[in-house]
Amino acid sequence: MTKKAKTTKKTSGKKSPAIKKTKARSPRILIVTPEITYLPDGMGNMTNQLSAKAGGLADVSASLVSALYELGADVHVALPHYRKMFHVDIGGFIDGELLIYKSKLPDDRIHLAEDRIFYYQDQVYSNSQETDLKIALAFQREVINNIIPTVKPDLIHCNDWMTGLIPAEARMLGIPSLFTFHNIHTVKATLAHIEDRGIDAAEFWSNLFYAWPSSNYFEARENNPVDFLCSGIFASHFINTVSPTFLEEIVENQHSFVPGNIQWEVASKFHAGCAAGILNSPDMSCDPETDEYLIQRYGVLDHFEGKRKNKVWLQERLGLEVNPDVPMLFWPSRLDPVQKGCQLVAELLYDVVDKYRAQGIQIVFVANGGFQQVFHDIVARHDLYKRVAVCNFEEGLSHIGFAASDFMLMPSLFEPCGLPQMTSAIYGSLPIVRNTGGLHDSITHMDVENNIGNGFRFEYYDRAGLAWAIDQAMEFYALDVHTRGTHVGRVMKESKERFNHAVTAQAYIDIYQQMLQRPLVDSVFAKSI
């Protein structure tokens, strides 16, 4: 029931010079991903940008496919055919993000799984676990029954729980598989239910992870649930998380929200040398030199004036006191008190505004979430309307927020990767973050004297820790304009070089090379050296 994507524009498929030098067949890579565009209020950090994306997975998948193809790899991509999402014009993006793939890949490299359950979905994940499970099983049925036999891949790269059964099939077929998980969400279903949706799990039942050990297929079939995420981790040949530190935190059992079975399987892979952490990277459109949303675009050399113009516009739009010289703090992430630490900001919001009243400090929230009303109440109670703005997420407004602000707030309790801290650094808005997960891997504390650092990082998840980091940021803002501007420019330049899809894609390519046991100089990826 699979169907290959149709497009009016085909690429030439031109091979790189490295491919012409070798007679070896390029390894055929099948990337299996359930996500293409942004999902409102989803699990990722840059949520709400488009109508059907759940996080950084879609960006990483798109960039990886493009990078592999440009390097001459025989790369294929499998995804559900979300007709409603693929065939609408959202904010100028025609056919959603599917065009990112189409612009790089010939038609016969894109494999769309067909099932009615996909067609009318307006987001990747629904509010119903039952519906999500139906979507996941239909997608995996098509990949297992039709796409893998058609593609005949040398390596399969699966992503998140919606692809968690596929590594078990891959292991049965003797195909190396990489399993990337971007968060800890999972679902469970019995073999009987899985088979009822058209997947012959009897072929690979022993490669799945169950609620308890079963001695045979018939004992497991009816009443022993299969954990999709844990099965992907268990059955795959190699796994990766979306930051090195988050991987270490799981292995060291630092997070109570990670189930014991998942923690154990991740630790087992890690100690066997079959696990890695790879940072995601921001959307390619997040660049102040080319960002169409900005009032004035800017780069490293003219960021001072460019940021001032965007700040004035944002102040006027949100009803804040108009003054380009006042420090502005920006909150871009969903207002989730379980993960994001917005309650820490609420606890000290009035105190910070009062402490830096003379400096005219301003704080802007462009984010949705259940905690938003708390900030509305604080603003109303203390009449902070000229100093604090709280508004719903808008993609363009969020981009301008990065450009207008001087600092970005992200005091997360935990963070598998994080994207706002990378985006803000690229835009010259220095991140204020807690030292955890991907925030640890991407942000180092500013050291003006030694000309290093790209933000302000605090250790302890409490009000005092965040208050200290904000004080550190304000000390930086008090430096003379030339010194401050020099460091902001340095951070922008370094961040653009470090936080990009080419770097992320190369890290995945390195894992592929390791899994395929191909020396770099003899592989199709030789161009990368």
Residue by residue, DSSP assigns 23-61 as: -SPPPEEEEE-S--S--TT-SSSSTTSSSS--STHHHHH
Quick one: pLDDT at residue 239? 97
Quick one: pLDDT at residue 59? 65
Low-confidence ranges of the chain (pLDDT < 70): 1-25, 35-60, 85-105, 107, 122-126, 518-529
Quick one: pLDDT at residue 175? 95
CA–CA gap between residue 112 and residue 77 (Å, rounded)? 8
Quick one: pLDDT at residue 393? 93
Quick one: pLDDT at residue 40? 25
Quick one: pLDDT at residue 446? 98
Evaluated on CA atoms 253, 259, 264, 270, the torsion sign reads: negative
CA–CA gap between residue 193 and residue 225 (Å, rounded)? 9
User: HSE of 94 in the Cβ direction (CA atoms, 13 Å)?
Assistant: 4
Q: Bridge partners of 70?
A: none
Quick one: pLDDT at residue 51? 33
Q: List, for residues 430-468, the tens digit of each pLDDT value.
A: 999 999 999 999 999 999 999 999 999 999 999 999 999
Backbone angles phi, psi at 173, to 5 degrees: -85, -5
Token digits of residue 266? 């991740």
Quick one: pLDDT at residue 351? 97
Token digits of residue 17? 């010079």
Q: Bridge partners of 430?
A: 407
Quick one: pLDDT at residue 87? 53
